[in-house]
Amino acid sequence: MAPPAADIDIQPTPAAVFDIPSKIKNVVTGTHSSASRLSGPLTYSGSLDSYAQFDVTSVIGRELPTLQLSEILYDDTKIRDLAILISQRGVLFFRNQDLTIDDQKLLGQRLGELTGKPETSKLHRHALSNSKRGIAVDENGKLDDEVSVISSEQNRKYYSDRFARGVKKNPAAGWHADITFEHIPSDYAVLKIVQPPADAGGDTLWASGYEVYDRLSPAVQKLAESLTATHYQPNFVKIKETFGEDLIDDYRGAPENTGLDFKAEHPVIRTNPVTGWKSVFGAAHQVEAGWINGVTERESEILKAYFNQLIAENHDLQVRFRWGKNDIAIWDNRSVFHTATNDYTGKRQGNRVVSLGEKPYLDPNSKSRREALGLLD
């Protein structure tokens, strides 16, 4: 779970009352599907090939240094291809973008809609990082529950054990995928850094869950595929009790995402419906307070530690991005872990839009990334 949000140095305007979409109202208490609408993996059409681009590493990450996302926002073919590339490469990077916050929200929703996510999955409303904090998301002071403001100031307030200046804690503990404590977690996340640190630092790293799966032995792959994990995030309730903050406990972007438990059971190995590839999913910070189901407590801790070790200690399945002002990263939370680097003293702030996807599942007939690309030894 990425620690949320912060103050901005302008006076915000009041937040609008959030209205649950009419389609959602009709299914909150009824029967609906939380499954992907895809019948199989999608194929990239090549519509983005004319734009300059390069792979940042051989395993994960691609940068499109000249593309302005605003220019393709209403092109269904290009946005679908964009989503496919994100799911294949894990994370894409874009420099000095002119997207407004409303454009950013539209992009986040369209990525999933054009790649088969359930009709009931919208943009996530973060339980803590929302308009109740009075955190503006643009220069006009707009407040918006569907945008999480990522800020060093707020992180240092709520998570002083991890982000206070001078804290000496293993930074590898920060690896996570977004909001996996929700029953319907994220497919895509769109983060725009509007204020990078004035000093050096504040980079973000991403790690490929596809490659973590491929580095398991066949026997451990088989074991992991038979398991589920309970993802649990107790920090929000602790913050509520410590700071007196109100939390969103009703509709958080999907009918299933309600309440203050912040606990959900998901498969340890997950199939990404866009690529059809298997990824380790039940790992890192989202299960730090959770556990692997159906095994002993000691076995759970051993498996969690091993998965974390593969994520944190293998730099050749990671990619690192140095932020500039208004740069954007878009990643697939189903198959990628990420962590920010707390190595700066100034302010760092960005707007994150988190789209919701399908209920996580494992298709036993799906392939690993290396197998699908013909990279097996």
- Tens digits of per-residue pLDDT, 12-66? 334 444 444 444 444 444 567 999 999 999 999 999 999 999 999 999 999 999 9
pLDDT given at position 10: 33
Sign of CA dihedral 38, 36, 108, 340: negative
pLDDT in tens, 204-257: 999 999 999 999 999 999 999 999 999 999 999 998 889 888 899 999 999 999
For 217, other C-beta atoms within 10 Å of its C-beta total 8
Domain boundaries, the chain: 42-372
Axis crossing angle, helix 76-89 with helix 101-113, rounded to the nearest 10 = 80
CA distance 342 to 152: 9
- E-only strand ranges, 273-374: 278-280, 291-292, 318-321, 327-332, 336-340, 349-356
Q: Specify the pairing of strand 148-151 against strand 186-195.
A: unpaired
Q: Is 199 left (phi over 0), alpha (psi -120 to 50) or beta?
A: beta
pTM of the full structure: 0.89
Q: Which two tokens stand for residue 367?
A: 């392939």
CA distance 33 to 14: 35
CA distance 324 to 179: 26
Q: Which two tokens stand for residue 298?
A: 């000691």
Q: What is the pLDDT along the chain (377 residues), one digit of tens a residue?
A: 333 333 333 333 344 444 444 444 444 445 679 999 999 999 999 999 999 999 999 999 999 999 999 999 999 999 999 999 999 999 999 999 999 999 999 999 999 999 999 999 999 999 887 767 667 788 878 888 899 888 666 656 666 666 666 666 677 788 999 999 999 999 999 999 999 988 888 999 999 999 999 999 999 999 999 999 999 999 999 988 898 888 999 999 999 999 999 999 999 999 999 999 999 999 999 999 999 999 999 999 999 999 999 999 999 999 999 999 999 999 999 999 999 988 888 888 899 999 999 999 999 999 999 999 999 87
Residues in the chain, total? 377
Could you confirm whether domain 42-372 is CATH 3.20.20.140? no
